[in-house]
Amino acid sequence: MDGFYYIGLDIHKKVIAYCIKALDGSMIDQGTIVADRQSLGVWVKGLPGPWIGAMEATLFTGWVYDLLKPHAVALKVAHPAMLQAITVAKKKNDRADAEKIADLLRVNLLPECHMLSEEMRELRRILRYRNHIVRTAVKMQNKMSGLLMEVGVSYSKKRLHGKKYFHELLDRVDEIPPSVKELLLLSRSGYEMFRSFQKRLVETLRADSLIRDRVHRLMTIPGVGEITALTWVLEIGDPDRFSSIRKAVSYCGLCSAQKESAGKEQRGPISKKRNKHLQTMLIEAAKLAPHWNEHLAIVHERELKKGNKNRATLAVARKIVAYMLVVDRKGADFKLPSEIRAA
């Protein structure tokens, strides 16, 4: 490792600050470059020798990582929350941040985070955009309900979003002002458009050979649907990066943060340091899964007897994580313990 240079990168929208150091900590070079592919390509070709690089995980990290990785001996991405805890200082600027990253990399103290492959990140981007579209469609649904309530129109909540009922409602109710009818039709067309888009995106993910087999195996778990399985595969990546179920549960944000000092331990609310996409999907799945899985229903009932509905939902979500992690690691369809003994 003595012959390598250590490079820290502080990436922003318009500029990238860099710091190049030798193993002994001596400064080789420091500066900034324009954050575009051409400038970065010219810069990397002019580096003095083989190098190991590190950067903080940000919105812009992906394309920089993909461009630089073929040129580096090793390229790492630092966890932003942990990096902040280590590098808190009175003096903070882009060059100083790049130098701190280079120093942490040089002494092997960089808090590294997992980086998915470029192909998996492309699929994850599609899934997250699909989720954004679904949230927008729900806003359109709520807006239609709100407009009808504003003008005092009675309607069936369950049937409102059916196409036939919606148009019948507009035709038979005379007290709806013309301006409100136009807004309702506009909201309805937006809702149908977003629903169509999200279906097309799911079909794209469903047909991808890179994740198809894993998704199908996860869906053999009663109570785990297609979207939950897709979210797990594309947010987790490699399941072997979790050495235990507890660590997977923590990553999914289904446990509280631990605060212990002088032998006293304090547990607070659910930790905010989590994968929010997984957490949201697992909580929603846990609300429905007991209807389809009798073992999850038993878990839910047991926790519900303790008097806390949210606690019961979290217990079910944790059990779903355990099921999915085991199935994903083994690469085999889900089987209950009773089925395994019978076989």
**Residues near 170 by beta carbon (within 8 Å), at least 6 away in sequence:** 176, 181, 184, 185
Q: Is the pLDDT of residue 123 over 90?
A: yes
Over residues 285-299, the mean pLDDT reads: 94
Can you state the angle between helices 118-150 and 178-206, rounded to 10 degrees? 160
Kindly indicate the confidence band of residue 336, based on its pLDDT and cuts at 50, 70 and 90.
confident
Element (H, E) at 6: strand 5-11
Q: Which of 81-85, 96-100, 205-209 has the highest mean pLDDT?
A: 205-209
Beta bridge partners of 267: 258
pTM: predicted TM-score of the whole model, two decimal places: 0.87
Give 147-162 as a DSSP string: HHHHTT----TTTTTS
The arrangement of strands across the sheet holding 5-11 comes to 27-34, 15-21, 5-11, 51-56, 74-78
Question: 231-249 pLDDT, tens per residue?
Answer: 999 999 999 999 999 999 9
- A 10 A CB-CB count for 145 gives 14
Please report the pLDDT score of residue 89 as a whole number: 67
Higher pLDDT, 226 or 262: 226
Higher pLDDT, 81 or 16: 16
Task: Look up tokens 């806390």; give the residue.
Answer: 308
Asked if 11 contacts 65 with a C-beta cutoff of 8 angstroms, the reply is no
- Single-letter amino acid, residue 259: K
Asked if 254 contacts 314 with a C-beta cutoff of 8 angstroms, the reply is yes
| 3-class DSSP state of 286 | helix
For the chain, the C-alpha Rg in angstroms (whole number) is 26
Measured CA to CA, the distance from residue 126 to residue 234 in angstroms comes to 10
Question: 149-198 pLDDT, tens per residue?
Answer: 998 888 888 898 888 999 888 888 877 888 999 999 999 999 999 999 99
Over residues 203-231, the mean pLDDT reads: 96
Over residues 210-239, the mean pLDDT reads: 95
Please report the pLDDT score of residue 177 as a whole number: 87
Q: Is the pLDDT of residue 257 over 80?
A: no
Please report the pLDDT score of residue 45 as a whole number: 94
Measured CA to CA, the distance from residue 197 to residue 12 in angstroms comes to 32
Q: Is the pLDDT of residue 80 over 90?
A: no
Can you state the angle between helices 226-236 and 276-288, rounded to 10 degrees? 150
Least confident segment among 89-98, 198-207, 245-254, 296-305 = 89-98
Question: 299-311 pLDDT, tens per residue?
Answer: 999 999 987 899 9
Please report the pLDDT score of residue 246 as a whole number: 93
Asked if 313 contacts 296 with a C-beta cutoff of 8 angstroms, the reply is no
Over residues 214-241, the mean pLDDT reads: 95
Higher pLDDT, 180 or 89: 180
Task: Look up tokens 């592919």; give the residue.
Answer: 37
Please report the pLDDT score of residue 86 as a whole number: 66
Q: Is the pLDDT of residue 88 over 90?
A: no
Over residues 249-270, the mean pLDDT reads: 78
Q: Is the pLDDT of residue 106 over 60?
A: yes
Q: Which CA distances in Å does 80 have to 88, 111, 296?
A: 12, 8, 35
Give 319-335 as a DSSP string: HHHHHHHHHHHHTS---
**Residues near 187 by beta carbon (within 8 Å), at least 6 away in sequence:** 140, 143, 144, 147
Over residues 85-91, the mean pLDDT reads: 67
